[in-house]
Structure 1
Amino acid sequence: MREFELIREFFQREQADLLLEDKAQASVILGIGDDCALLQIPANQQLATSVDTLVADVHFPADAKPEDIAERALRTNLSDLAAMGAEPLWFTLALTLPKSSNYVSEEWLRGFSRGLFRAANKYEIVLVGGDTTSGPLSITIQVMGAVESHHAMRRDGASIGDFVCVTNSLGDGAAALAVMQNRLALNADHEHYLRERFYRPTPRLIESGLLKGIASAALDISDGLVADLNHICEASDLGAVIDVENLPLSPALLAVGDLQQARTWALSGGDDYELCFTVSPEKMPELAMLIAQEKINATVVGEIVAGVGVQCELEGEAYELTAQGYQHF
Structure 2
Amino acid sequence: MKEFDIIERFFNQKCHQRKDVIHGIGDDCAITRVPEGLNLAITTDTLISGVHFPIDTPPEAIAHKALAVNLSDLAAMGAEPAWYSLSLSLPEVDENWLEAFSTSLFELSRYYSIQLIGGDTVQGPLSVTITAHGFVPNESPLTRSGAKPGDMIYVSGTLGDAGVGLDIQKGKLIASEHCVQYLINRLYYPSPRLLAGTALRRIASSCIDLSDGLIRDIQHVLKASECGARIQVDKLPLSVALKESVDVEDAYSYALGAGDDYELLFTVSEENKGTLDIALANANISATCIGHITGIKQKLELRFEDQPYQSLRSGFEHFS
Distance in 2 separating the partners of 1:301 and 1:125: 33
Deviations 1:181-224 (A, max 9, x none): 11222233311111221111110011111111110000100001
Could you give the per-residue CA deviations for residues 156-194 of structure 1, whole angstroms, max 9, x where no partner exists? 000000000000100011011011011222233311111
- Tell me what 2:62 maps to: 69
Name which of 247, 260, 283 aligns with 2:249.
260
Superposed displacement of residue 295, structure 1:
2.1
Establish whether residue 11 from structure 1 lines up as the match of residue 11 from structure 2.
yes
Question: 2:45 pairs with 28, 52, 76, which one?
Answer: 52
- Alignment match, 1:43: 36
Change (3 A) 1:26 1:293: closer
The letter of the residue matching 1:197 is R
Q: Distance in 1 between matches of 2:171 and 2:6?
A: 36
Aligned residues: 318
- Aligned partner of 1:42: which letter? P
What whole-Å deviation, never above 9, does each CA across 1:77-130 have from its counterpart, x for those lacking one? Answer: 11000000000000000000114xxxx211111111111111111111000000
TM-score, length basis structure 2? 0.97
SS at match of 1:14: coil
Residue 187 (str. 1) matches residue 176 (str. 2): yes
**What one-letter code is carried by the residue in structure 2 that aligns with 1:121?**
R
- Partner residue in 2 for 1:2: 2
Q: TM-score under structure 1 normalisation?
A: 0.94
Bigger CA drift: 308-317 or 217-226?
Answer: 308-317
1:281, CA displacement in angstroms? 0.4
Q: Which moved more, 1:216-225 or 1:289-298?
A: 289-298
Q: Does 1:247 align with 2:236?
A: yes
| Contact residue 234 and residue 309 of structure 1 kept, 8 A | no
Deviation per residue, 1:13-48 (Å, 9 max, x gap): 111xx4x5xxxx111000000000000011110000
Among residues 269, 294, 307, which one is paired with 1:317 in the alignment?
Answer: 307
| Aligned residue number for residue 225 of structure 1 | 214
Shift of 1:61: 1.4
Matches within 5 A, 1:1-329: 1-15=1-15, 18=16, 25-99=18-92, 104-292=93-281, 295-307=284-296, 308-329=298-319
**Is contact 2:175-2:246 (8 Å) kept?**
no
Q: Specify whether residues 294 and 251 from structure 1 end up closer, same or farther in structure 2 by C-alpha distance, changes over 3 A only.
A: farther
**1: CA distance, partners of 2:103 / 2:281:** 38
Unaligned runs of 5+ in 1: none
Give the letter aligned to residue 319 of structure 1.
Y
d(CA) in 1 for partners of 2:105, 2:62: 8
Cα pair 1:91 1:142 within 8 Å, conserved: yes
The aligned amino acid for 1:128 is I
Task: Return 55-64 or 157-166, whichever deviates more.
Answer: 55-64
Distance 1:288 1:113 in 2: 38
Percent identity, aligned pairs only, is 44
Residues 292 and 49 (structure 1 numbering): CA distance in 2 closer, same or farther, change over 3 Å?
closer
Tell me the amino acid that sits aligned with residue 305 of structure 2.
E
Query: How many Å separate the matches in 2 of 1:154 and 1:118?
Result: 29
Separation of aligned partners in 2, 1:34 and 1:321? 51
Q: Flag structure 2 segments of 5+ consecutive residues without an equivalent.
A: none
Verify the 8 A CA contact 1:92 1:127 in the aligned structure 2: yes
Matched residues in 1 for 2:309 and 2:143: separation?
28
What is the Cα deviation at residue 289 of structure 1?
2.9
> CA–CA distance in 2 between the matches of 1:239 and 1:179?
34
Change (3 A) 1:6 1:48: same
Partner secondary structure for residue 143 of structure 1? strand
Residue 293 of structure 1, CA deviation: 5.2
Compare 255-264 and 275-284 and name the one that shifted more: 255-264
Task: Tell me, yes or no, if the aligned pair for 2:179 and 2:245 is still in contact at 8 Å.
Answer: no
Q: Secondary structure at the match of 2:313?
A: coil
Are the aligned partners of 2:176 and 2:245 in contact in 1 as well (CA < 8 Å)?
Answer: no
1:117 partner amino acid:
F
Contact 2:254–2:313 under 8 Å retained in 1: no
